[in-house]
Structure 1
Amino acid sequence: MNRTILNALAGIALAGTPMLALQAQSGDGSRIVTEIDVQELASSLSEMGATWERSGDESESIAVTFENGGKAILRPTACRDGPCMGLLMVAFFSKPDGMSQAEADEIARQFNMRYNPASVVKSDNGNHVLKAYLIFDYGITKQNLTFRLGLFGSGIMRYNDALNGGG
């Protein structure tokens, strides 16, 4: 793909994205992050103004509340015999009272067509899960990590608005 097409696709993905995901980062944003752990997550989340806590005893999962109020669980993954090389980001949604499952599923389908940084899947109990996965193989910049976390936080609010009639 040429750079013009890539820039156009990025513009589509970010159209209407709140500033939470687009804030400038402090510190050395060019540092390469080659593995993920709670300390690395905490650093990026603090830069964004998000709060977090460990999710359970001795768990590497953390519960996050983004500055915009969105809530998620972040879990380092792909940790076989060494550092974790992936990050699973999930947020959970129940369909609003009075909405049919078919209506909720259509909202999820439309969201998936319009928002590329994360996708909605339906759990076994019919609830919706917004999820994204970040791979650290060969590294990403610290700035990109913080940006991707913010983009997921923005996606939570976008899906909440779509599901609950706010947008």
Structure 2
Amino acid sequence: DGPLESRLQACVVFGAQRTATQDMEFALDQLVEIAARALSPGINDPFTAITCVDRLSSALARLAAHGQPAAWHRDAEGVPRVLDRPPGFAEALDAAFHPIRQCARDNAPVAIRLMAAMAELSAVCTDPDQRAALRRHADQLLRNAAAHFGDPGDLADLRARHRQMVCSPGSQAGGD
């Protein structure tokens, strides 16, 4: 081992386990897993799932505000040294909300909170691609709810939040 190799090895941690600090998708997956388990029939804990949705939407808002993470990490002189391919907003949104939406298809409180989170995200997202990804998820959630909700009042609440998302500043006008 030369001095450069030793210094490089000191900068990188290798291991068999993923970590939340090194792998954003792993952190998202952990919260999604907690939410999915909370929504299982044996546990039926919508409040835990809602807390997970809130945490995930907060992380997505930060990702939207900071844009796509830099793929190249540069040294002090600006020379590219390490190539990283972290997920962008749409990929992170898919990883975070797609499984929860599937698990919450007949759980009105969680589905309504998920739609409200998308409306809040839409209000802070300025990128058209981010808004399109949010719209796609919101439309899927609304279709799922229309097919699975038993209470018309719950569906009306969800539709109202969908309209809020669709009509947020900067979004393209449209209906549900």
The TM-score bracket by the shorter chain reads: under 0.3
Q: Which has the larger radius of gyration?
A: 2
More helix by share: 2
More strand by share: 1
